[in-house]
Amino acid sequence: MVFKSSSKISQTLALGFALTLSQISCSDATEPYTSVKKDAASANSGKKPTKVEEPADDSEASKDAPSKDTKGSVPDKMQTPGEADEVLEPSPAPNPVPAPVPTPDKPAVLPCSGETAECHPHRFIVVDEPKRKMGYVNLDDPSKDWDLNLPNGGRDIQLIGKGKVMVGTLDGNGGYYEVDIVTGKITKSVMNFGGVMSVQRLKNGNTLIMGGGLAGGRGTVVIEVKEDRSIVKKFEFPNASGGRLIRRTKAGTFLIGSSQGGSPDNDIMLEYTAEGKELLRLDAKGVSAHMGLRLPNGDTVVANGHGAAVLIYDKTKKLKVTLGGKDQPGKDPVHFNYGGQFQVLNNGHFVLTNWQGHGTDSGASGRQLVEYDANGVQVWSWKQDAQRFSSIHGVLVLDNLDTNVLYDDTNGALAPAE
């Protein structure tokens, strides 16, 4: 009996000793993981951790915990030995440096009604008569400038939408080009109309082409053509000839300059109905009346060519304001030589071209774009690059215009075509 009791005691002691060893072994194997869990639990106010946190000291846990990946790589997930259902997530990778948010290009000029620098032209296309080319000028970013040769010259220019302008030319026996504003490349050419002086795209997609004796007509002729060159309408004005730019009014009439030397119709601005009836005759007080526009208030604006001015007449034909002039003082000495194409800005100001002559070496002469307010006060001028340009007689100021939209000046200032 004693032997049996001793045997049972020995077995009991052996079993207890084995259990003790097993507990010690398990404790040693899991202590690093247990330490990490404690540290994480402490950092999360007693909540069950889901992520490994870096220990704050050099404890044993820091030796086994995943190191922080400074390059943004994600460490491997850790598992509790023997407990596949309890997974600790990796430490979060450092947040990558956010990419800079693209800043939209600031408009070259914000719409305004004052006379600050932001109100003056910053982006424009000009036509150089003696150098027979057109050029894009960006005063804010000259790297975007371009020039386009027009072998037989150009004159009229219009923003026709879809990022393009149309320029009338005597190239190819007279017609027009469509030109991409960004690249300065010709995207389309329509030629062989004859002595083209002026062009205008209509909202219906047709184009008005104007010049002397077009399509067998007499005097100044305006034809409306489709894209396939077929003529839809034809208007003849036998008593007007030698003019430059022809403009429609909102009422559907035409303002046509005439400069028939020695004739009763010399150096005047005429207004005709589409049927050829004369409605208005204004003395341009110069030579070669270049261009006319009708303002919303009924005033008529006339560029008088060699008279070196732009004149504003009221409804009674009384001269109200003179812009420019060879003797008019201004803040800049512009050497006003010729009243050519002009544009009415949305603040009521006028930007005038100041052509200096037929020579290709006139670039150093005068300031060839000049801005005036509605009272005739000079508020801005542009001194052209004498090497790049010689004598400018066409301009299109692009500031505050949507280049994807067709614009015309039938109501004075450029506005979306109606």
Share of the chain above pLDDT 70, in %: 68
Residue 94 belongs to a domain = no
Domain that holds residue 137: 117-416
Looking at the fold, whether 160 and 20 belong to one and the same domain comes out as no
pLDDT at 210 over 50: yes
Cα 164 off chain centre by: 11
Residue 101 lies in a domain: no
What are the Cα distances from residue 187, in Å, to 39, 144, 163, 221, 295? Answer: 71, 18, 11, 27, 33
| pLDDT tens sequence across 143-153 | 999 999 998 89
Within this chain, do residues 83 and 126 fall inside the same structural domain, yes or no? Answer: no
pLDDT at residue 82 is higher than 50: no
Would you say residue 255 lies in a domain? yes
For a pLDDT cut of 90, what percent of the chain falls above it?
55
Classify residue 135: in a domain, yes or no: yes
Structure token pair of residue 205 = 């997609």
3-state DSSP assignment of residue 29: helix
CA–CA separation, 334 and 354 (whole Å): 8
Residues 391-413 have a mean pLDDT of 96
Structural domain count, the chain: 2
| Mean local confidence (pLDDT), 361-387 | 92
Question: What number of residues does the chain have?
Answer: 418
Asked, for residue 98, whether it belongs to a domain, the answer is no
Assess whether 221 and 352 both reside in one domain: yes
The more confidently predicted of residues 303 and 98 is 303
97: in domain: no
- For residues 122 and 137, is the Cβ–Cβ distance under 8 A? no
What SS3 state is found at 256? strand
Whole-number pLDDT of residue 5: 46
Does residue 372 register a pLDDT over 50? yes
Pair 243, 138 in one domain: yes
Q: What is the pLDDT of residue 261?
A: 53
Kindly state whether residues 43 and 136 are assigned to the same domain. no
CATH number of 374's domain: 2.130.10.10
Are 140 and 152 in contact by the 8 Å Cβ rule? The answer is: no
**Residue 95 resides in a domain:** no
pLDDT grade, residue 18 (50/70/90)?
A: very low
254 and 348 inside one domain: yes
- Both 24 and 129 in a single domain? no
Q: What is the pLDDT of residues 239-256, one digit of tens each?
A: 887 778 999 999 999 999
Higher-confidence position of 38 and 128: 128
Between CA 318 and CA 313 the distance in angstroms is: 5
Q: Is there a domain that residue 122 lies in?
A: yes
Is 182 found in the same domain as 124?
A: yes
Annotate 78-112 with DSSP letters as a single string.
EEETTEEEEEEBPPPPPPPPPPPPPPPPPPSS---
Q: 316 and 209, same structural domain?
A: yes
The per-residue pLDDT for 232 is 97
Are 201 and 261 in the same domain? yes
Average model confidence (pLDDT) across the chain: 78
With a cut of 50, say whether residue 81 has pLDDT above it. Answer: no
